[in-house]
Amino acid sequence: MNNIPELFWHATQNEIKQGYLYNEDADEFTCLICGENIQNGIIYPENNILYEAKKYIEIHIAKYHHSSFHFLLNLDKKLTGLTDHQKLILELFYEGNSDNDVAKVLETGSTSTIRNHRFSLREKQKQAKIFLAIMELLGEQTPKKQSFIDIPRNAKQVDERFAITEQENESILNSYFKQGLNGPLDSFPLKEKKRVAILRHILKKFTANQRYTEKEVNAILKPLYEDYVLLRRLLIDYGFMARTQDGSSYWLTL
């Protein structure tokens, strides 16, 4: 339940609530839960009824994921911050149960206990809003000179590989891009810190918030290094890029 496509983490709050987003460049709707792509302009059949793409992605979410609410609610506690008891109460609220109904299901015998739960959850919502505002303001702050290389959101392991100063980064790039920073690479190092610096530099060849086919990714990487497949794989492994499950679409994660 926690195998979430990387695209999910770049979606807006409204997109997460509806469970899908619309990619204008590809002209398709993408399920944020499983990565399924629904091409716009195509008519999709379901139970002998034909649906346009936008309606069909909604049907897809209801059919395979119940709802965005239930998907989010059933994520691991480390992602939601909710206990199993809180999840059960929220699900009962979502289904339209009154405080009295919830009290009966939980066998608490007291609606005041349920009202206290509602109050606690509203307080949690307020805290979340404030925290989001803080993080957005932090992101808008003009950064000072960076001491370390940016760490991708979905990096599988955050360690000394990413602790690269600007001076180290410049030295590594000059050593391996001897014909200039536009490439090609003279060789590709085995040491992970050097690989991270090179891969981070290669990302400049791609555009943020743009999706690429595997063929397009290969076309960008081929002039840089003969083993472009290795570069493509490492961009994914180190968390700098993500892709759909079928490998039909790639995008930057930073």
CA–CA separation, 180 vs 58, rounded Å?
49
Give the pLDDT score at 156: 42
Give the pLDDT score at 10: 77
Q: Which of 7, 63, 59 is nearest to 33 (CA)?
A: 7
Out of 1.10.10, 1.10.287, 1.20.1550, 3.30.2000, the CATH code matching 82-140 is 1.10.10
For the chain, domain boundaries: 6-71, 82-140, 160-252
For residue 133, CA distances in Å to 34, 52, 138, 140 come to 28, 36, 9, 11
User: Using CA of residue 24, residue 55, residue 87, residue 109, what is the dihedral sign?
Assistant: positive
Give the pLDDT score at 59: 96
Give the pLDDT score at 154: 44
Contact 225, 198 (CB under 8 A): no
Contact 242, 9 (CB under 8 A): no
Give the pLDDT score at 12: 86
Give the residue ranges of the chain where pLDDT is below 70: 1-3, 139, 141-163, 254
DSSP state of 191: S
Give the pLDDT score at 161: 52
Q: Give the residue ranges of DSSP H helices in the chain.
A: 13-18, 53-65, 68-73, 77-80, 84-94, 99-106, 111-140, 166-176, 192-202, 214-221, 228-237
Give the pLDDT score at 99: 92
Give the pLDDT score at 153: 45
pTM of the model: 0.56
Give the pLDDT score at 237: 85
Q: What is the pLDDT of residues 165-222, one digit of tens each?
A: 788 888 889 889 888 888 788 888 888 888 888 998 999 899 988 899 999 999 999 9
Which contacts (CB < 8 Å, 24+ apart) does range 123-132 have? 124/81
